[in-house]
Amino acid sequence: MMLPNLEELKLKLCRILNDEWRLSDEDKFKSLKLLLLSHLNLERLEARSDNFPNLKRLVLKMCYRLQEIPTDFGEISTLESIELHDCTATAEDSAREIVQEQEDMGNNSLKVYIHNSPGKLKQFFDSLIFVKSYLLQIKMITSTFYLAYAGE
């Protein structure tokens, strides 16, 4: 996949197959400046700095299952900020490690912003995401049943 002119990619409420998004060496987003991943069931992101050579902002919102940000993102020299909103502690730790790697290379301009909702509010959002996921599964099963039934 090559989208040479895409500057912003915002993936919100998408179902990722197998709970992972794996980018190959051919997947290049040469002009991408903003990558926003929001409310995804994503557990693992496999990407290299070459996939996003001009990325400036990485924003992760309510990615409750994402285990880490690829360490290779630390090699993106244009990266200015990583924002995490209600993500896992391990994702937060990996963001801090990326900042440390950048600082070790003499780049002190990368900033990490971590925002966490209060406990009850986070539980409420978790419940909403669970209900939405459940309803999507029911819709898919119903559609599959309807197509199977209509085909007979």
- pTM value is 0.75
16-72 residue pLDDT tens: 556 888 999 889 999 999 999 998 888 899 999 999 999 999 999 988 889 999 999
pLDDT for 64 equals: 84
List own/partner pairs for 87-94 with CB under 8 A and 24 or more apart: 87/60, 87/61, 87/62, 87/63, 87/114, 88/63, 88/64, 91/60, 91/63, 91/66, 91/67, 93/68, 94/68, 94/69
28: burial class by Cβ within 10 Å (0-12, 13-18, 19+)?
middle
pLDDT for 145 equals: 53
Segment 145-149 shows an average pLDDT of: 55
- How far from 139 is each of 12, 16, 125, 128, 144, CA to CA, in Å? 19, 17, 21, 16, 9
Given pLDDT bands bounded at 50, 70 and 90, which one contains residue 151? low
Within the chain, residue ranges assigned H as helices are 89-104, 119-150
Given pLDDT bands bounded at 50, 70 and 90, which one contains residue 99? very high
- Give the bridge partners for 114, in sequence order: 84
pLDDT for 1 equals: 59
